[in-house]
Homo-oligomer: A and B are copies of this chain.
């Protein structure tokens, strides 16, 4: 933190309606399966054949894998905050599954800015980050509260 913050944003640089677009990541089929084997070992995330007879009708990434990929896209410039991305919580949804070979990117928008009353050097910013596949379908929507600091003195 602090070494390469020159073109990154502080609380006073943000405004409601401000938008950011991330780079993109291609989702690998083998990584879908290995992530699921470690964290979400269910047939629709692990096995091509078994997944076809499930509600997903084919292999789908764990929603937590999609969420983690979205975070990587945000950290890699998708949400350029000077103090990093420190999430306090939020609401999430997975409107569509992530499929093997999908290319994902994240579009974010500042929804609300709440300066802290007790800590004048920081605030809580609500950001809606929508992760989209190559067809423009939303696979993950996270409306998160992030801690953002003011520019030091």
Contact = CB atoms under 8 A, between A and B. Distances in A.
A interface: dominant SS: mixed
A59 to B, nearest CB: 14
Contacts of A44: 1, 84
A85 B39 CA distance: 12
Interface residues of A, number: 37
Interface stretch (A11-19, A66-74, A108-116, A125-133): A66-74
A39 B91 contact: no
Contacts of A147: 55
B42 A72 contact: no
A89 interface: yes
A35 B71 CA distance: 12
30 contacts: A1-B42, A1-B43, A1-B50, A1-B54, A38-B68, A38-B72, A39-B69, A39-B71, A39-B72, A40-B75, A42-B75, A54-B84, A55-B83, A55-B86, A55-B147, A62-B68, A62-B71, A64-B64, A64-B67, A64-B68, A65-B68, A67-B67, A87-B94, A88-B93, A88-B94, A89-B91, A89-B141, A91-B91, A91-B92, A92-B92
Given A38-B72, A41-B72, A64-B71, 6 more contacts: A38-B68, A43-B84, A55-B83, A55-B147, A62-B71, A88-B94
The 3 closest A-B pairs by CB, nearest first: A89-B93, A39-B68, A64-B68
